[in-house]
Amino acid sequence: MKAGNIRVEPLSPERWVDLEELFGPNGATEGCWCMWFRESRQEYRARRGDGNRAALRAIVDDSELTPGLLAYQGERPVGWVSVAPRTDYSRLARSRVAKRVDDAPVWSIVCFFIHRDARGQGVMHALVDAAVKFARDHGATTIEAYPQDTAGRQPSADDAFVGLLPVFERAGFVEVARHTPNRPLVRLVL
C-alpha cells in the first residue's frame, strides 16, 4: 500500500528489524513494545522492556497473526499502527474509554508510533488508510478507534499515541460514543 511517498506494509518476521529500528532501545515508549493494550496491568509491569519485546516478537512469529503495519519513507521505517480484532486487545474489555457500545464484531486501531523526524508529514493518515484496507481485506466489517480529541490545541506526542480525532474523521470514521471528555469512540462501517 502506498500513499504519496509513504509505503505501508504488514509487520512480518522479515520486517522485525525495521520495527526494532523504529522503536529504538526504549521499545517505542518506556519498554512498551506496543503491548499495553494486549496485556493486563500486572503482565505489562512484569514484562516491561525485554519481556514486552519478546511477547510482541512471539506474536509476529506466529504466521497467522499480524499485529500491525509499518510505514516507510523510502526504505526507512517511520511509523507504526497496531490494528487487529478488538478481542486481541484484552485491556479494551476493562477500559472506560473504549467501553463496548454493542456486540458487533469489530476490529480496533489502538496505537501509533511515528518517528519524530516524520511527524506532520501525513504518516498517521497513511497508516489509518492502510489499517482500514488491511482490516477489510481480513474480513472486518466494522473498525473502531479511541483517538484523542485535542479540540483545536496542538497535540503532544503523548496525545497522539492513540491517534487524533481529525485524522479518523478525514478517513470517514464517525463518533458513536464518548465515555470520557477527550476520547471519543469512532467507527467506520466497511
Adjacent-strand bridge partners of 142 = 189
pTM across the whole model: 0.94
Domains of the chain, residue spans: 2-189
Q: Residue 118: what pLDDT?
A: 94
Q: Residue 170: what pLDDT?
A: 96
Q: Residue 4: what pLDDT?
A: 62
Nearest to 23 by CA among 112, 92, 108: 112
Q: Residue 8: what pLDDT?
A: 98
Q: Residue 167: what pLDDT?
A: 95
Residues of the chain scoring pLDDT < 50: none
Q: Residue 157: what pLDDT?
A: 73
In this structure, whether the domain defined by 2-189 belongs to CATH 3.30.420.40 is answered with: no
